[in-house]
Amino acid sequence: MGKGEETRQTVLVKALRTASTVGLRGLTIGGLAEQTSMSKSGLFAHFKSKEQLQWALVEYASEWFVDMVLRPALREPRGEPRLRALFDRWLLWDGGSVWALPGGCVFISAAAELDDEPDGPLRDRFVRNQRDWLDTLATVFRSGMTEGHFDQGCDPAQFAYDLYGVTLAFHHANRLLRDPLAEQHARVAFERLVEVARPLSPA
Amino acid sequence: MGKGEETRQTVLVKALRTASTVGLRGLTIGGLAEQTSMSKSGLFAHFKSKEQLQWALVEYASEWFVDMVLRPALREPRGEPRLRALFDRWLLWDGGSVWALPGGCVFISAAAELDDEPDGPLRDRFVRNQRDWLDTLATVFRSGMTEGHFDQGCDPAQFAYDLYGVTLAFHHANRLLRDPLAEQHARVAFERLVEVARPLSPA
């Protein structure tokens, strides 16, 4: 990694932590300059504008999410074991683990900001990120249908929607309400989703 | 309603519509003055500070939510019919009805902003609002247990968590992804929650 790339990474890590609490809109090159003890002009050399910084951040967060959540889960056997690994690591991503961001999932903050924005490169990029993730969830679930863990009549897109809802509710209960039962509720909800998806025993 | 109260209401309606898209943080007395063609000093006479404006807004949105979603649903018979009415109106609140806000549920925007804020009057007020709502959902569900619509072994707090997740996922799919299947997915998820809550038929 060259010096320039290294600096860029350092800045992006800081920016990601900040954005997880104040959102993409709250991120400024000036504020970031203070946090990294870099000059504003130095930062502008890396990210020509606030928009480019936000874009780079979504890219970086997506890569980090793949490294921390998706890739390790894909090492598990197809179907239910992989789905469980994915869900466990997704909760860690949002929860209190060492590599979790201080404000929890940065994508949830970004979603709340970008949902009412008009179309534009940043929104489009982010929507692609979210669709990819829902597709991944559906694909992993579908592998469980092929493996015989889940019923052939299940709808993978519905499962992805349902599971996304479970983690959104977890974020809400955990971060906003600081509900000590947040994780328990999330796990019960997950187990029920898996339970109702099981193949009907042959008549 | 006196003239002062009338003006206050007019301003709050505008502010609510704005906050539903840009959030509580995006709301400024200056911006609101432009939208309402009132002077900034006139607005300051009603809301001493941005913080008081935000507080008044949460109060006002809560009252509106009660009028639009909760109160009409409470006219339905206890238990499942009331729960269905609540869910239908909740989707309308977030969806495309005439009285829906341009950015959908203002509470979801506020939640994303306030979740990582330190404790303070606004955050506390908002958390109380959200806990009240979850309690209401649990109470309506519990009335269904009493009526025999739902199984005695169900956990009303878990149901409230699950249902909140369904509507958070709806907001995400509908607002951010503009997924034409958003409402269908929400309704399928709701029906399953109701289905798995039904009393086990006597052995």
Q: Which residues of B touch A134 (CB under 8 A)?
A: 177
CA distance A116 to A109: 13
> Out of A112, A161, A177, whose CB is closest to B173?
A161
Instruction: Report the alpha-carbon distance of residue B154 to residue B140 in Å, rounded.
Output: 13
* Closest Cβ–Cβ partner in B126, B157, B176 for A115: B176
The yes-or-no verdict on residue A5 having pLDDT over 50 is yes
Per CB-CB distance under 8 Å, the chain B contacts of A126 are 176
Task: Give the span between the Cα atoms of A53 and A108, in whole angstroms.
Answer: 18
The residues, any chain, with a CB within 8 Å of residue A81's CB and separated by 6 or more, are none
Taking a C-beta distance cutoff of 8 angstroms, is the pair B166, B193 a contact?
Answer: yes
Tabulate helix, strand, coil % of chain B (nearest 5).
Answer: 70, 0, 30
Rounded Cα–Cα distance for residues A59 and A64 (Å)? 9
Contact assignment for A161 to B177 by CB distance below 8 Å: no
Across chain B, which has 203 residues, the per-10-residue mean pLDDT values are 83 88 84 88 87 90 93 97 97 80 86 88 93 97 98 97 97 95 98 95 58
B153, B170, B193, B199: which is closest to B93 by C-alpha? B170
Contact A104 B115 (CB under 8 A): yes
Backbone torsion region of residue B28, taken as left when φ is above 0, otherwise alpha when ψ lies between -120 and 50, otherwise beta: beta
Q: Which of B107, B113, B99, B121 is nearest to B168 (CA)?
A: B107
pLDDT at A182 over 60: yes
Instruction: Spell out which residues of chain B touch residue A173, defining contact as CB-CB under 8 Å.
Output: 161
Cα of A188 vs its chain's centroid, Å: 21
Distance of CA A88 to the CA centre of its chain: 13
The C-alpha torsion from A6 through A11 and A16 to A19, rounded to 10°, is -170
d(CA A182, CA A91): 11
Amino acid at B82: R
For A125, the token pair is: 């990029």
With H, G, I as helix, E, B as strand and everything else as coil, classify residue A156. Answer: helix
B10: amino acid identity, one letter? T
pLDDT in tens, B183-203: 999 999 999 999 999 998 754
Residue A203: predicted pLDDT: 46
pLDDT number for residue A47: 87
| The pLDDT value given to residue B202 | 55
Return the residue matching tokens 């991944």: A136
Of the given ranges (A5-14, A67-76, A84-93), which has the lowest mean pLDDT?
A: A5-14
Say if the Cβ atoms of B115 and A127 lie within 8 Å.
no
Q: Which of residues 23-82 of B touch A (CB under 8 A)?
A: 23, 25-26
DSSP for B151-196, please give it: -TT--HHHHHHHHHHHHHHHHIIIIIS--TTHHHHHHHHHHHHHHH
Alpha carbon distance A165, A161 (integer Å): 6
Which pTM does this prediction carry?
0.92
pLDDT at B154: 97
Q: How far apart are CA A81 and CA A96, in angstroms?
A: 23
Q: Which pLDDT score, from 0 to 100, does residue A17 have? A: 87
Query: A80-110 pLDDT, tens per residue?
Result: 999 999 999 999 998 867 677 888 888 988 8
